[in-house]
Amino acid sequence: MAGLAAGLRRPWCSSAVRSPLQVISFQVFQLHVSRSTMRASQKDFENSVNRVKLLKKDPGNEAKLKLYALYKQATEGPCNTPKPSVFDLINKAKWDAWNSLGSLSKETARQNYVDMVSSLSSSAESSSQIKPGADGEQPGYETLVVTSQDGITKIMLNRPTKKNAISTQMYQEIMQALKSASKDDSSITVLTGNGDYYCSGNDLTNFMDVPPGGVEEKAKNGATLLREFVGCFIDFPKPLVALVNGPAVGISVTILGLFDAVYASDRATFHTPFSHLGQSPEGCSSYTFPRIMGPAKATEMLIFGKKLTAREACAQGLVTEVFPDSTFQKEVWTKLKAYSELPPNAMRISKQVIRNKEKEKLHAVNAEESSVLQERWLSDECRNAVVSFLSRRAKL
Protein backbone atom coordinates (compact mmCIF):
# COMPACT_ATOMS: atom_id res chain seq x y z
CA MET A 1 0.00 0.00 0.00
CA ALA A 2 1.38 3.31 -1.12
CA GLY A 3 0.73 5.15 2.13
CA LEU A 4 3.05 2.91 4.14
CA ALA A 5 6.50 3.77 2.84
CA ALA A 6 9.84 2.56 4.05
CA GLY A 7 10.09 3.28 7.74
CA LEU A 8 6.89 5.29 7.38
CA ARG A 9 8.85 8.33 6.15
CA ARG A 10 5.60 10.04 5.19
CA PRO A 11 4.06 10.72 8.65
CA TRP A 12 0.65 9.23 9.19
CA CYS A 13 -0.23 12.00 11.61
CA SER A 14 1.27 15.44 12.18
CA SER A 15 3.20 16.30 15.30
CA ALA A 16 0.56 18.77 16.51
CA VAL A 17 -1.30 18.01 19.73
CA ARG A 18 -4.33 15.99 18.76
CA SER A 19 -7.72 15.45 20.33
CA PRO A 20 -8.62 12.12 21.97
CA LEU A 21 -10.50 11.26 18.80
CA GLN A 22 -7.19 11.05 16.97
CA VAL A 23 -5.11 9.93 19.90
CA ILE A 24 -7.25 6.85 20.44
CA SER A 25 -6.46 5.75 16.89
CA PHE A 26 -2.89 4.95 17.89
CA GLN A 27 -2.00 2.15 20.30
CA VAL A 28 1.36 2.49 21.94
CA PHE A 29 3.38 -0.66 22.46
CA GLN A 30 6.69 -1.95 23.69
CA LEU A 31 8.37 -4.20 21.17
CA HIS A 32 10.12 -7.32 22.48
CA VAL A 33 12.58 -8.83 20.05
CA SER A 34 15.10 -11.63 20.28
CA ARG A 35 18.38 -11.83 18.48
CA SER A 36 18.35 -14.00 15.40
CA THR A 37 21.16 -16.27 14.38
CA MET A 38 20.42 -15.29 10.78
CA ARG A 39 21.32 -11.95 9.27
CA ALA A 40 19.38 -10.40 6.41
CA SER A 41 21.40 -8.82 3.65
CA GLN A 42 20.93 -5.20 2.64
CA LYS A 43 19.19 -6.42 -0.48
CA ASP A 44 16.75 -8.50 1.59
CA PHE A 45 16.04 -5.44 3.68
CA GLU A 46 15.41 -3.23 0.64
CA ASN A 47 13.14 -5.88 -0.87
CA SER A 48 11.13 -5.98 2.37
CA VAL A 49 10.82 -2.20 2.32
CA ASN A 50 9.31 -2.49 -1.14
CA ARG A 51 7.04 -5.38 -0.09
CA VAL A 52 5.49 -3.20 2.61
CA LYS A 53 4.27 -0.83 -0.10
CA LEU A 54 2.50 -3.72 -1.83
CA LEU A 55 0.46 -4.88 1.16
CA LYS A 56 -3.18 -4.80 0.10
CA LYS A 57 -4.57 -4.33 3.59
CA ASP A 58 -3.58 -1.92 6.33
CA PRO A 59 -1.63 -4.00 8.89
CA GLY A 60 -2.83 -1.79 11.74
CA ASN A 61 -1.22 0.98 13.77
CA GLU A 62 0.63 -1.33 16.16
CA ALA A 63 2.33 -3.06 13.25
CA LYS A 64 3.11 0.29 11.64
CA LEU A 65 4.82 1.45 14.82
CA LYS A 66 6.85 -1.75 14.98
CA LEU A 67 7.93 -1.33 11.38
CA TYR A 68 8.79 2.31 11.98
CA ALA A 69 10.92 1.46 15.01
CA LEU A 70 12.75 -1.41 13.31
CA TYR A 71 13.40 0.66 10.20
CA LYS A 72 14.86 3.54 12.25
CA GLN A 73 16.98 1.12 14.30
CA ALA A 74 18.20 -0.66 11.16
CA THR A 75 19.15 2.53 9.37
CA GLU A 76 20.18 4.93 12.16
CA GLY A 77 20.89 2.72 15.16
CA PRO A 78 19.59 3.37 18.72
CA CYS A 79 17.17 6.23 19.26
CA ASN A 80 19.10 9.50 19.04
CA THR A 81 16.43 12.20 19.12
CA PRO A 82 15.04 14.14 22.12
CA LYS A 83 11.92 12.75 23.75
CA PRO A 84 8.82 14.63 22.53
CA SER A 85 6.46 16.38 24.90
CA VAL A 86 3.93 14.17 26.68
CA PHE A 87 1.22 16.07 24.83
CA ASP A 88 2.84 15.41 21.44
CA LEU A 89 1.13 12.03 21.55
CA ILE A 90 1.81 10.70 18.08
CA ASN A 91 5.50 11.55 17.92
CA LYS A 92 5.85 10.31 21.49
CA ALA A 93 4.35 6.97 20.47
CA LYS A 94 6.84 6.69 17.61
CA TRP A 95 9.71 7.77 19.87
CA ASP A 96 8.73 5.22 22.54
CA ALA A 97 8.59 2.48 19.91
CA TRP A 98 12.07 3.28 18.62
CA ASN A 99 13.58 3.90 22.07
CA SER A 100 12.21 0.59 23.37
CA LEU A 101 14.63 -1.26 21.07
CA GLY A 102 17.52 -0.04 23.22
CA SER A 103 20.93 -1.08 21.92
CA LEU A 104 19.62 -3.65 19.45
CA SER A 105 22.15 -3.85 16.63
CA LYS A 106 21.39 -2.58 13.15
CA GLU A 107 21.88 -6.08 11.77
CA THR A 108 19.39 -7.68 14.15
CA ALA A 109 16.87 -4.87 13.60
CA ARG A 110 17.22 -5.37 9.86
CA GLN A 111 16.61 -9.11 10.25
CA ASN A 112 13.58 -8.52 12.47
CA TYR A 113 12.18 -6.04 9.96
CA VAL A 114 12.53 -8.61 7.17
CA ASP A 115 10.92 -11.33 9.33
CA MET A 116 8.03 -9.08 10.29
CA VAL A 117 7.27 -8.06 6.71
CA SER A 118 7.36 -11.71 5.69
CA SER A 119 4.93 -12.55 8.50
CA LEU A 120 2.58 -9.72 7.51
CA SER A 121 2.60 -10.84 3.91
CA SER A 122 1.87 -14.46 4.84
CA SER A 123 -0.88 -13.40 7.22
CA ALA A 124 -2.53 -11.32 4.52
CA GLU A 125 -2.47 -14.27 2.15
CA SER A 126 -3.98 -16.69 4.69
CA SER A 127 -6.53 -14.36 6.30
CA SER A 128 -9.45 -16.20 7.88
CA GLN A 129 -11.92 -13.62 6.61
CA ILE A 130 -14.85 -15.30 4.94
CA LYS A 131 -14.77 -14.75 1.20
CA PRO A 132 -17.79 -13.70 -0.87
CA GLY A 133 -19.98 -16.47 -2.22
CA ALA A 134 -21.35 -18.16 0.91
CA ASP A 135 -24.72 -19.88 0.51
CA GLY A 136 -27.54 -17.36 0.63
CA GLU A 137 -25.12 -14.46 1.06
CA GLN A 138 -26.43 -11.01 0.28
CA PRO A 139 -24.09 -8.90 -1.88
CA GLY A 140 -22.93 -5.35 -1.18
CA TYR A 141 -21.03 -5.79 2.09
CA GLU A 142 -17.26 -5.67 2.63
CA THR A 143 -17.05 -5.90 6.43
CA LEU A 144 -20.01 -8.22 7.00
CA VAL A 145 -21.37 -11.52 5.76
CA VAL A 146 -25.15 -11.31 5.62
CA THR A 147 -27.15 -14.46 4.88
CA SER A 148 -30.83 -15.34 5.05
CA GLN A 149 -31.89 -18.97 5.41
CA ASP A 150 -34.55 -20.97 7.26
CA GLY A 151 -36.36 -17.81 8.35
CA ILE A 152 -33.23 -16.34 9.96
CA THR A 153 -31.16 -13.39 8.73
CA LYS A 154 -27.62 -13.64 10.08
CA ILE A 155 -25.37 -10.56 10.21
CA MET A 156 -21.80 -11.68 10.84
CA LEU A 157 -19.05 -9.19 11.65
CA ASN A 158 -16.29 -10.23 9.27
CA ARG A 159 -13.00 -8.61 10.25
CA PRO A 160 -11.47 -11.49 12.23
CA THR A 161 -7.88 -10.27 11.86
CA LYS A 162 -8.97 -7.00 13.52
CA LYS A 163 -10.96 -8.83 16.23
CA ASN A 164 -14.09 -7.56 14.47
CA ALA A 165 -13.38 -3.99 15.54
CA ILE A 166 -16.11 -1.72 14.17
CA SER A 167 -14.78 0.64 11.51
CA THR A 168 -16.79 3.58 10.20
CA GLN A 169 -17.61 1.49 7.13
CA MET A 170 -18.83 -1.37 9.34
CA TYR A 171 -21.08 1.02 11.26
CA GLN A 172 -22.69 2.04 7.99
CA GLU A 173 -22.98 -1.56 6.75
CA ILE A 174 -24.55 -2.80 9.99
CA MET A 175 -27.18 -0.07 9.74
CA GLN A 176 -27.79 -1.01 6.11
CA ALA A 177 -28.08 -4.71 7.01
CA LEU A 178 -30.53 -4.01 9.84
CA LYS A 179 -32.72 -1.85 7.63
CA SER A 180 -32.79 -4.57 4.97
CA ALA A 181 -33.48 -7.31 7.52
CA SER A 182 -36.39 -5.33 8.95
CA LYS A 183 -38.12 -5.60 5.56
CA ASP A 184 -37.18 -9.11 4.41
CA ASP A 185 -39.15 -12.34 4.87
CA SER A 186 -37.15 -13.66 7.82
CA SER A 187 -38.65 -14.11 11.27
CA ILE A 188 -35.53 -13.52 13.39
CA THR A 189 -32.32 -11.52 12.92
CA VAL A 190 -29.03 -12.62 14.47
CA LEU A 191 -25.81 -10.67 15.03
CA THR A 192 -22.56 -12.56 15.63
CA GLY A 193 -18.83 -12.43 14.89
CA ASN A 194 -16.43 -14.39 12.71
CA GLY A 195 -13.33 -15.75 14.44
CA ASP A 196 -12.21 -15.73 18.06
CA TYR A 197 -13.80 -12.40 18.98
CA TYR A 198 -17.41 -11.30 18.94
CA CYS A 199 -16.30 -7.68 18.68
CA SER A 200 -13.44 -5.65 20.19
CA GLY A 201 -15.37 -2.39 20.08
CA ASN A 202 -14.45 0.65 18.03
CA ASP A 203 -11.71 0.40 15.45
CA LEU A 204 -9.25 2.92 16.81
CA THR A 205 -8.45 4.20 13.31
CA ASN A 206 -11.98 5.61 12.92
CA PHE A 207 -10.93 9.02 14.09
CA MET A 208 -7.71 9.60 12.16
CA ASP A 209 -9.02 11.81 9.36
CA VAL A 210 -9.95 15.26 10.61
CA PRO A 211 -12.39 17.19 8.39
CA PRO A 212 -11.91 20.86 7.42
CA GLY A 213 -13.98 21.87 10.44
CA GLY A 214 -11.36 20.40 12.76
CA VAL A 215 -11.78 18.17 15.79
CA GLU A 216 -15.04 19.85 16.76
CA GLU A 217 -16.63 18.78 13.48
CA LYS A 218 -15.13 15.31 13.89
CA ALA A 219 -16.67 14.99 17.35
CA LYS A 220 -20.04 16.18 16.06
CA ASN A 221 -19.96 13.71 13.15
CA GLY A 222 -18.98 10.88 15.50
CA ALA A 223 -21.85 11.66 17.84
CA THR A 224 -24.31 11.76 14.93
CA LEU A 225 -23.10 8.39 13.61
CA LEU A 226 -23.36 6.86 17.08
CA ARG A 227 -26.90 8.16 17.60
CA GLU A 228 -28.07 6.84 14.22
CA PHE A 229 -26.39 3.47 14.80
CA VAL A 230 -27.97 2.90 18.21
CA GLY A 231 -31.29 4.16 16.87
CA CYS A 232 -31.38 1.29 14.36
CA PHE A 233 -31.31 -1.20 17.25
CA ILE A 234 -33.98 0.68 19.20
CA ASP A 235 -36.35 0.68 16.22
CA PHE A 236 -35.67 -2.82 14.89
CA PRO A 237 -39.11 -4.48 14.61
CA LYS A 238 -38.27 -8.20 14.69
CA PRO A 239 -36.77 -10.42 17.39
CA LEU A 240 -33.07 -9.53 17.50
CA VAL A 241 -30.62 -12.06 18.93
CA ALA A 242 -26.91 -11.70 19.73
CA LEU A 243 -24.68 -14.78 19.50
CA VAL A 244 -21.62 -13.75 21.49
CA ASN A 245 -19.00 -16.20 20.28
CA GLY A 246 -16.04 -14.63 22.11
CA PRO A 247 -14.85 -11.51 23.95
CA ALA A 248 -16.99 -8.38 23.54
CA VAL A 249 -15.83 -4.83 24.29
CA GLY A 250 -17.31 -1.34 24.35
CA ILE A 251 -20.20 -0.54 22.00
CA SER A 252 -20.70 -4.23 21.22
CA VAL A 253 -21.51 -4.76 24.90
CA THR A 254 -23.56 -1.64 25.62
CA ILE A 255 -26.07 -2.31 22.82
CA LEU A 256 -26.81 -5.80 24.17
CA GLY A 257 -29.48 -4.25 26.38
CA LEU A 258 -31.42 -3.50 23.17
CA PHE A 259 -31.45 -7.15 21.99
CA ASP A 260 -34.31 -9.50 22.69
CA ALA A 261 -32.03 -12.43 23.59
CA VAL A 262 -28.28 -12.81 24.13
CA TYR A 263 -26.69 -16.26 23.88
CA ALA A 264 -23.01 -16.58 24.78
CA SER A 265 -20.18 -19.07 24.57
CA ASP A 266 -18.59 -19.77 27.94
CA ARG A 267 -15.38 -18.21 26.62
CA ALA A 268 -17.06 -14.85 26.03
CA THR A 269 -16.26 -11.85 28.24
CA PHE A 270 -17.97 -8.46 28.52
CA HIS A 271 -15.96 -5.27 29.09
CA THR A 272 -16.87 -1.56 29.02
CA PRO A 273 -13.67 0.36 29.95
CA PHE A 274 -15.06 3.87 29.43
CA SER A 275 -13.63 5.61 32.50
CA HIS A 276 -10.15 4.35 31.66
CA LEU A 277 -10.26 6.66 28.62
CA GLY A 278 -12.15 9.52 30.23
CA GLN A 279 -15.32 8.68 28.34
CA SER A 280 -18.91 7.78 29.22
CA PRO A 281 -21.46 5.04 28.42
CA GLU A 282 -23.35 4.74 25.14
CA GLY A 283 -25.78 2.35 23.46
CA CYS A 284 -28.51 3.31 25.98
CA SER A 285 -26.56 1.34 28.59
CA SER A 286 -26.87 4.17 31.13
CA TYR A 287 -30.58 3.28 31.16
CA THR A 288 -30.75 -0.42 30.21
CA PHE A 289 -27.93 -1.76 32.39
CA PRO A 290 -29.28 -0.46 35.72
CA ARG A 291 -32.70 -1.85 34.77
CA ILE A 292 -31.24 -5.24 33.82
CA MET A 293 -28.69 -5.83 36.59
CA GLY A 294 -29.43 -3.16 39.18
CA PRO A 295 -27.63 0.16 39.79
CA ALA A 296 -24.73 -1.26 41.82
CA LYS A 297 -23.74 -3.95 39.31
CA ALA A 298 -24.23 -1.53 36.40
CA THR A 299 -21.91 0.94 38.14
CA GLU A 300 -19.20 -1.72 38.44
CA MET A 301 -19.32 -2.26 34.68
CA LEU A 302 -19.99 1.19 33.27
CA ILE A 303 -18.05 3.38 35.71
CA PHE A 304 -15.39 1.11 37.20
CA GLY A 305 -14.85 -0.98 34.06
CA LYS A 306 -15.31 -4.42 35.63
CA LYS A 307 -15.01 -7.21 33.06
CA LEU A 308 -17.65 -9.94 33.36
CA THR A 309 -17.33 -13.58 32.42
CA ALA A 310 -20.18 -15.13 30.45
CA ARG A 311 -21.48 -16.83 33.60
CA GLU A 312 -21.40 -13.58 35.56
CA ALA A 313 -23.16 -11.71 32.75
CA CYS A 314 -25.84 -14.40 32.69
CA ALA A 315 -26.31 -14.28 36.47
CA GLN A 316 -26.77 -10.50 36.24
CA GLY A 317 -29.32 -10.74 33.44
CA LEU A 318 -27.28 -9.30 30.57
CA VAL A 319 -26.97 -12.74 28.92
CA THR A 320 -29.94 -15.05 28.37
CA GLU A 321 -28.07 -18.37 28.37
CA VAL A 322 -24.48 -19.65 28.28
CA PHE A 323 -23.31 -22.69 26.32
CA PRO A 324 -20.05 -24.66 26.30
CA ASP A 325 -17.86 -23.28 23.54
CA SER A 326 -17.46 -26.76 22.01
CA THR A 327 -21.21 -27.07 21.42
CA PHE A 328 -22.16 -23.40 21.24
CA GLN A 329 -22.90 -23.16 17.52
CA LYS A 330 -24.82 -26.45 17.34
CA GLU A 331 -27.00 -25.81 20.38
CA VAL A 332 -27.77 -22.18 19.61
CA TRP A 333 -28.69 -22.72 15.98
CA THR A 334 -30.94 -25.64 16.90
CA LYS A 335 -32.76 -23.34 19.31
CA LEU A 336 -32.99 -20.48 16.81
CA LYS A 337 -34.32 -22.67 13.99
CA ALA A 338 -37.11 -23.82 16.29
CA TYR A 339 -37.91 -20.20 17.17
CA SER A 340 -37.93 -19.19 13.51
CA GLU A 341 -40.86 -21.53 12.91
CA LEU A 342 -43.09 -19.56 15.27
CA PRO A 343 -45.69 -17.27 13.62
CA PRO A 344 -43.60 -14.25 12.54
CA ASN A 345 -46.33 -11.64 12.80
CA ALA A 346 -47.15 -12.74 16.34
CA MET A 347 -43.48 -12.28 17.32
CA ARG A 348 -43.30 -8.82 15.73
CA ILE A 349 -46.50 -7.67 17.41
CA SER A 350 -45.39 -9.02 20.78
CA LYS A 351 -42.08 -7.18 20.49
CA GLN A 352 -43.93 -4.02 19.52
CA VAL A 353 -46.13 -4.24 22.60
CA ILE A 354 -43.07 -4.77 24.82
CA ARG A 355 -40.82 -2.15 23.22
CA ASN A 356 -43.32 0.64 22.52
CA LYS A 357 -43.67 1.35 26.22
CA GLU A 358 -40.11 2.62 26.38
CA LYS A 359 -39.04 3.41 22.81
CA GLU A 360 -39.42 7.17 23.30
CA LYS A 361 -37.35 6.94 26.48
CA LEU A 362 -34.61 4.95 24.73
CA HIS A 363 -34.31 7.51 21.94
CA ALA A 364 -34.04 10.31 24.51
CA VAL A 365 -31.32 8.41 26.40
CA ASN A 366 -29.47 7.72 23.14
CA ALA A 367 -29.50 11.42 22.21
CA GLU A 368 -28.27 12.44 25.66
CA GLU A 369 -25.46 9.84 25.74
CA SER A 370 -24.28 10.87 22.27
CA SER A 371 -24.28 14.56 23.24
CA VAL A 372 -22.31 13.88 26.41
CA LEU A 373 -19.77 11.79 24.52
CA GLN A 374 -19.30 14.57 21.98
CA GLU A 375 -18.26 16.83 24.86
CA ARG A 376 -16.10 14.15 26.48
CA TRP A 377 -14.10 13.57 23.28
CA LEU A 378 -13.08 17.23 23.33
CA SER A 379 -12.34 17.49 27.06
CA ASP A 380 -8.95 17.89 28.73
CA GLU A 381 -9.79 15.08 31.14
CA CYS A 382 -10.38 12.67 28.27
CA ARG A 383 -7.10 13.71 26.67
CA ASN A 384 -5.22 13.25 29.96
CA ALA A 385 -6.82 9.83 30.52
CA VAL A 386 -5.74 8.76 27.06
CA VAL A 387 -2.19 10.02 27.70
CA SER A 388 -2.11 7.95 30.90
CA PHE A 389 -3.48 4.90 29.09
CA LEU A 390 -0.94 5.16 26.30
CA SER A 391 1.90 5.63 28.79
CA ARG A 392 0.91 2.43 30.61
CA ARG A 393 0.76 0.54 27.32
CA ALA A 394 4.24 1.78 26.44
CA LYS A 395 5.61 0.14 29.59
CA LEU A 396 4.08 -3.30 28.91
Contact 207, 172 (CB under 8 A): no
Final residue belonging to a domain, choices 76, 92, 126: 126
Least confident of 94-98, 156-160, 354-358: 94-98
Residue 131 pLDDT greater than 80, yes or no:
no
Find the mean pLDDT for residues 317-330. 97
Find the mean pLDDT for residues 193-211. 81
Least confident of 41-45, 119-123, 238-242, 380-384: 119-123
The count of structural domains within the chain is 2
**Residue 45: inside a domain, yes or no?**
yes
Together in a domain, 90 and 155: no
Together in a domain, 112 and 151: no
Confidence at residue 332, expressed as pLDDT on a 0 to 100 scale: 97
CB-CB neighbours of 85 under 10 Å: 11
Final residue belonging to a domain, choices 91, 126, 161: 126
Confidence at residue 339, expressed as pLDDT on a 0 to 100 scale: 97
Together in a domain, 360 and 224: yes
Together in a domain, 304 and 163: yes
CATH number, domain with residue 377? 3.90.226.10
Confidence at residue 31, expressed as pLDDT on a 0 to 100 scale: 33
Together in a domain, 19 and 67: yes
Together in a domain, 332 and 362: yes
pLDDT band at 6 (very low <50, low <70, confident <90, very high): very low
**Residue 390: inside a domain, yes or no?**
no
pLDDT: which is higher, 188 or 66 = 188
Residue 361 pLDDT greater than 60, yes or no:
yes
Confidence at residue 214, expressed as pLDDT on a 0 to 100 scale: 78
- For 293-318, b/e burial (b = at least 16 CB within 10 A) is beeebbebbbeeeebbbbebbbebeb
pTM over 0.75: no
Together in a domain, 258 and 301: yes
Confidence at residue 18, expressed as pLDDT on a 0 to 100 scale: 43
Together in a domain, 114 and 157: no
Q: What residues does 145 pair with on adjacent strands?
A: 156
**Residue 117: inside a domain, yes or no?**
yes
Find the mean pLDDT for residues 16-39. 39
Together in a domain, 120 and 259: no
**Residue 396: inside a domain, yes or no?**
no
User: What residues contact residue 352 under an 8 Å CB cut-off, 6+ apart?
Assistant: 237
User: What residues contact residue 277 under an 8 Å CB cut-off, 6+ apart?
Assistant: 20, 24, 382, 385, 386, 389
Cα-based distances in Å from 160 to 198, 309, 355, 377: 9, 21, 33, 28
Q: What residues does 248 pair with on adjacent strands?
A: 199, 270
Range of the structural domain that residue 164 is part of: 144-384
Nearest to 103 by CA among 70, 79, 72: 79
CB-CB neighbours of 14 under 10 Å: 12
Residue 14 pLDDT greater than 80, yes or no:
no
**Residue 200: inside a domain, yes or no?**
yes
Final residue belonging to a domain, choices 71, 96, 126: 126
Together in a domain, 224 and 104: no
**Residue 389: inside a domain, yes or no?**
no
CATH number, domain with residue 31? 1.20.80.10
Find the mean pLDDT for residues 361-376. 96
**Residue 41: inside a domain, yes or no?**
yes
Residue 140 pLDDT greater than 90, yes or no:
no
